[in-house]
Chain A
Amino acid sequence: MKRLSYLSPKTEVRDSPIHGRGLFARALIKKDEVVTVKGGHIINREQLREIATQLGPVEIQIGDDLYIAPVTQEEREASMLYSNHSCDANLGVRGEITFIALRDIGAGEELTHDWCITDDDDSSTTCSCGSSNCRGTLTGKDWQRLELQKRYAGYFSAYLAEKITRMKQSRT
């Protein structure tokens, strides 16, 4: 099946020390260079819940009740970004579905994004990404944490960036 998501030709998918398969740089990727663009169907939370039982975690959240995801097993592979979570990520988001390099990334490095830049829900899950600053537990509200807002400033999904702006206003 034709790919639904875009993966830069400078990337490759292979086994990851973090989890399952991961996305890796095959060549130098410059800061702010586009690495992947998520493709799929626009669905809501209820639809996601149904899909997740079949396909596992395949979505990227793009709004309060909006996600982009494959909806069939056939589409799954074609939509996957293979970008694992890391608490010390090297990818950020431009807009809501375009993932770009947070910094210059050398060939061989695993390409990861921190779920806090895309997710907003009430979940919590364990993390064993192995980074030195691993949070151990990831929550769907991590985007609210000031230290993460600072670390990933300018690289949050657009709908979260708006929320962060409002939160900043209410802090003052």
Chain B
Amino acid sequence: MKANPDQPKTVQFDSTASHPKHGIAMIYDLEGFSRFFNQPDVQDYVPKFLNLVSEALSIVIYGGKAYWLPTGENLDPLKATPVHEKFLGDGAMYIWLETESEPLSTSFVTTLCNRLWNLKKFFPTLLKTAFDQLPVVDLPTRVRFGIARGTIYELSRKDSNASEYIGFCMNLASRLQKYCPALDFIASARIGLAQERLEKHGYLRVVATHIKGFPREIVIVDKAEWSALDPSARKERFEMI
């Protein structure tokens, strides 16, 4: 049966997607969001908390005072700007596409990873700020990042000028972010962090053996988190290189 032409429609796309593009997808997720919702009058506090986290991500990407860092330093804007930001309920996804004017260079990748790594590490400082402003007992306690690089297709929506993005890269970022709950930072080694910088910046490369659709994906994790990871979780989900 054909739908009534006057009936409202769900999302429709133009018939052809873009040629493959190349980019980076970063997804973050807030751990403990469901618990947060189980508190009285939480509707008064959810937007404030989300804005605080979103503002921190803005500072990471567009620059500003990174108050969560022990140095409280001012960050410069990243050398590439995301083309897409999508709120995902208890987190968000950011997409960078490589262009002539904004190449996703090794130094860009390193800076992005280091800033996210620091935000993850010093998230308790952000939480302290949140607790100062919000009269709640429970806040999401951790932020978890998944980052990947690869092919991205752009879909144009029929109902607006907006674009949506699909592809390998987003699937991988999403699966990485969920892959090992004890690791708050996990990036595919596809992102292009130079080998020589890994050790220097406190990262470690291991093979993730059970990511659906990505057998034996080489990933970059935080060396300190890796050391603290339960040996059975390590054995079950990873192999050393």
* A positions within 8 Å CB-CB of B: 122, 124-127, 132-137, 139, 141, 144-147, 163, 166-167, 169-171
Contacts and interface: CB of A to CB of B under 8 A. Distances in A.
B3 interface: no
Contacts, number: 74
B103 A147 contact: yes
B98 A146 contact: yes
9 contacts: A134-B195, A136-B195, A137-B189, A146-B22, A146-B98, A147-B103, A147-B106, A170-B20, A171-B100
Interface string B83-123: 00000000000000111100111100000000000000000
A171 B21 contact: yes
Interface of B is mostly: mixed
Interface string B209-235: 000001011100000000000000000
Interface residues of B, number: 31
Interface of A is mostly: mixed
Contacts of A147: 103, 105-106
Contacts of B105: 147
Given A124-B188, A141-B151, A171-B100, A136 B205 contact: yes
Contact of A169 (B19, B100, B103, B205): B19
Given A141-B190, A145-B192, 11 more contacts: A124-B190, A124-B218, A133-B194, A135-B195, A136-B193, A136-B195, A144-B22, A145-B104, A146-B104, A167-B19, A171-B97
B140 interface: no
Nearest to B220: A137
B11 interface: no
B241 interface: yes
A136 B22 contact: no
Contacts of A135: 192, 194-195
Contacts of B195: 127, 134-137
Given A126-B205, A169-B19, A146 B100 contact: yes
Contacts of A169: 19
Contact of A137 (B22, B190, B196): B190
Contact of B194 (A136, A167, A170): A136
Contact of B20 (A125, A136, A167): A167
Given A126-B205, A126-B241, A137-B218, A171 B99 contact: yes
Contacts of B98: 144-146, 171
B7 interface: no
A23 B98 CA distance: 35
B82 interface: no
Contact of A122 (B20, B103, B168): B168
Contact of B19 (A136, A145, A166): A166
A121 B62 CA distance: 34
Contacts of A139: 150, 190
Contacts of A132: 196
